[in-house]
Amino acid sequence: MKTIDELLAEGVAGKRVFVRADLNVPLDGTTITDDGRIRAVLPTVAKLAEAGARVVVASHLGRPKGAPDPAFSLAPAAARLGELLGADVAFATDTVGESARATVAGLADGQVAVIENLRFNPGETSKDDAERGAFADRLAELADVYVGDGFGAVHRKHASVFDLPARLPHYAGYLIATEVGVLKKLTTDVQRPYAVVLGGAKVSDKLGVIDHLLERADRILIGGGMAYTFLKAQGHEVGSSLLQEDQIPAVQEYLRRAEEKGVEFVLPVDVVVAPAFPDLKTKAPAHPTTVAADAMPAGQMGLDNGPETNKLYQSKLADAATVFWNGPMGVFEHPDFADGTRAVAQALVDSPAFSVVGGGDSAAAVRILGFDENAFGHISTGGGASLEYLEGKTLPGLAALED
């Protein structure tokens, strides 16, 4: 895999460089609530611009239905990128149409443009190779060189991620190079003890990575909504908590295998419950109570780890040499249910371990809860991509960058 440093050594002045970024930021209307993914691609874009490239940045945002939708416009991301660069960033109002062609043609050396949301074109996500390839052909007309730096999208077989690199000289940007280097530390020559913390809503989203990590991790700590399927699998009442009943047999098998292999599986011993899911807009008091994990009342919903669980999890992370964390421990967006996620983040900050925060909600949580990003070994920009890498899957976007 060639890197951007090799491209810069070859010279990029005057060349149109297509940077496939991940600007898929959370929006409240047109306000960006977390610009972490924009800042993550900044080193690549800035270095190319400094070297005189004409930089064309492209990304998806959200899940539009293959047609323009103002709610998913990249215009706010383009404006924020310009603020971070300290330079004007041109914005094309389409992907490969008249505006994109004119905007790219108008770039001078060292200038940057962002084209509109790639998923406004059905060819970006099409499962039909010909349709996807046709869109990639039109994207290729906008550039001389391709730089892949949208790690959060490399697990997708999409036109701009998989097909476009085959049509242009291609290189890995700084972000992708860093992400792959970090993930290799979690899969080869891992420093032990190796602890994994998995949370989030659905256990089904994590089955593959749990299966893979049972062969590699020393201990696995479970929290978030997925914990209640594990507790149910042990025969406990979980009230009205999030539950994937159909996953109970798989969870029971993982618990059996973990015991067989000597992998420590750590589940909550107490949980914070409330009668209903909290209002995340008003942050109104949710009237939480704490109960033992094996004594949840039938009419209550588990929404966070309890204080004894937080102490337990911190103790299980204190001596780890390597930690991978993906998924919050509770509904961290509400102050009544943020302590579990805060406790895990603080444990990683306090630990000398090499810690990786695995993207998505976990990355957003550490920022929202006020932690210094530099206190962690690495904060990934790609939750799904990180998980699939750890599952041992071939990621289309990384395979496309190989020579």
- Determine which one of 15, 37, 54, 219 is catalytic: 37
Let me know if 384 is a catalytic residue. yes
For the chain, the helix, strand and coil percentages under 3-state DSSP, each to the nearest 5: 40, 15, 40
In whole angstroms, give the CA distance from residue 378 to residue 390. 15
In whole angstroms, give the CA distance from residue 389 to residue 180. 9
DSSP 8-state code for residue 380:
-
Let me know if 306 is a catalytic residue. no
Q: Which residues contact 257 (CB under 8 A, 6 or more apart)?
A: 214, 263
In whole angstroms, give the CA distance from residue 106 to residue 54. 10
DSSP 8-state code for residue 245:
G
In whole angstroms, give the CA distance from residue 29 to residue 53. 33
In whole angstroms, give the CA distance from residue 237 to residue 232. 6
> Is-contact 206 327, C-beta < 8 A?
yes
Q: How far is CA 83 from the centre of its chain?
A: 23
Residue located via tokens 């659905």: 202
- Determine which one of 360, 382, 383, 397 is catalytic: 360
> Is-contact 96 140, C-beta < 8 A?
no
The H-or-E segment that residue 216 falls in is none
In whole angstroms, give the CA distance from residue 362 to residue 207. 18
Let me know if 202 is a catalytic residue. yes
> Is-contact 227 201, C-beta < 8 A?
no
- Determine which one of 148, 152, 327, 384 is catalytic: 384
Phi, psi at 32, each rounded to 5°: -80, 125
Phi, psi at 158, each rounded to 5°: -110, 160
φ/ψ region of 20 (left if φ > 0, alpha if ψ in -120 to 50, else beta) reads beta
- Determine which one of 39, 101, 167, 202 is catalytic: 202
In whole angstroms, give the CA distance from residue 228 to residue 219. 19
Give me the sheet containing 289-292, strands edge to edge.
289-292, 270-274, 301-305
Phi, psi at 147, each rounded to 5°: -125, 120
Catalytic residues: 37, 202, 360, 384
